[in-house]
Amino acid sequence: MPSLLELAGASVELTRKGRAYWAPCPFHQEKTSSFKVEERRGKWRFHCFGCGASGDAADWIMRTQRVGYVEAKRMLGEARAKPDPAIVAARQAEQRRQRILKAYRDRNPDCCLPDWAIET
C-alpha cells in the first residue's frame, strides 16, 4: 500500500523543510510552495494553504484520479474499516441490558422499575 508521501512525490517535486514536505500545489496554478505533506498523529496528511485542499491518501486519489471514496480505498488496497472493539463491546452490553430489562418486564407486567435500576 503506497503512502501519501509516495503518491504525492510521484506527481509533484516535494522539498523537505523540517518534518514536512513542501511543493507548489497540484490543484491550482501557483509559483510558490503552499502545498504541505506531513505526518500527524501517525498518519500522513496534505494541506494547501492557497486553495484549502486537504486530506489523506484516499483524498489524494479521489482528487487526482477523479474517483469515489470506495474506489480510492480499493486502489490503495485497504480493506473496509474495522469497528472499534470498545464500541462493539459497549453496544453488545447495552443490547444485553435491554434484553434482560424486557424479559423482567414481560414476567412482571405491573413493574414500574426504571431502566437505571437494573444492573447487568
Domain range summary for the chain, segments of one domain joined by +: 4-76, 85-117
Q: What is the pLDDT of residues 6-40, one digit of tens each?
A: 888 888 888 999 989 999 988 888 888 899 999 88
This prediction's pTM = 0.59
Distance from C-alpha of 86 to C-alpha of 69, rounded to nearest angstrom: 26
C-alpha cell at 19: 518534518
Query: So what's the pLDDT on residue 49?
Result: 92
Distance from C-alpha of 60 to C-alpha of 4, rounded to nearest angstrom: 8
Structural contact between residues 51 and 35, judged by C-beta atoms closer than 8 angstroms: no
C-alpha cell at 95: 443490547
Question: What band does 115 get if pLDDT is binned at 50, 70 and 90?
Answer: low
CATH topology classification for 4-76: DNA Primase; Chain A (3.90.580)
Half-sphere exposure of 3 (CA within 13 A, CB side): 10
Q: What is the pLDDT of residues 81-96, one digit of tens each?
A: 667 788 889 989 989 9
